[in-house]
Structure 1
Amino acid sequence: MAIAALSSGITGLNVAQRALGNSAHAIANIGTQGFQPAQATFAENTPAGTGVSISMRGQELQQVDAPSATNLAVETTNSLVYKAQFDLSAKVVQAADQNLGTLIDIKA
């Protein structure tokens, strides 16, 4: 049980990190003409409870004279959500590590 929770927490950390990177990339390119930010989509791994995965759906650059399609308010909100997801996943990893350590101590 503790190992499954540890694995789920680690996949949550990885996904949150990738989503934060995607959001940072979009904010960094806010002044790039024709830039279309990728959208992060999360999905639960199969079988259920084994973690989460992420996919990035990107779009091509539009015409050169078109402004960037990055919405700063949306990306700022996304960044806060992804940071909270990262923090919560870290707490899951910490709890699983503590439980695993307790199990190892009991068996020793």
Structure 2
Amino acid sequence: MTGLQANAKGLGVEAHNTANMNTDNFVPQVGNFNEARPAGTGVTLSIAARDLSAAENVGSAPSGTDPATSITNSLVYKAGFDLSAKLIQAADERLGTLIDIRA
């Protein structure tokens, strides 16, 4: 579940960056995955402002948002969300099988 939540939050960050791409002085954000505490209990996504010194060299939107980076990150977050959903589905199927065996 934490994988679903973290990837959904990442998609939201990239949507926000893309929506504000042409906004002057907008500071785009970047999400970083972190291991949840206690260790082994999942993943979280922390959000911080992007370093604009690298974005200034790109010469992209007025905000410093790089469209290619935002699209790539969105695809990665979507794939992570889909994978997390498949893991939950597989775990649910295994649990159902275990319950049927014991019945």
What does residue 95 of structure 1 align with? Answer: 90
- Kindly provide the CA deviation profile for residues 54-104 of structure 1, in whole angstroms up to 9, marking residues without a partner as x: 111137xxxxxx921111000000001001101110110010010111111
Q: How does 1:11-90 map to 2 (within 5 A)?
A: 11-58=2-49, 67-90=62-85
Structure 1 SS opposite 2:46: strand
Matched residue count: 93
Is there any run of 5+ residues in structure 1 with no aligned partner, and where? 1-9, 60-65
* Percent identity between the two aligned chains: 56
Extract structure 1 runs of 4+ deviating beyond 4 A: none
Please report the RMSD computed on the Cα atoms of aligned residues, expressed in angstroms: 1.6
Q: Identify which of structures 1 and 2 has the higher relative contact order when contacts are C-alpha pairs closer than 8 Å and 6+ apart.
A: 1
Structure 1 SS opposite 2:26: coil
Offset at residue 39 of structure 1 (A): 1.1
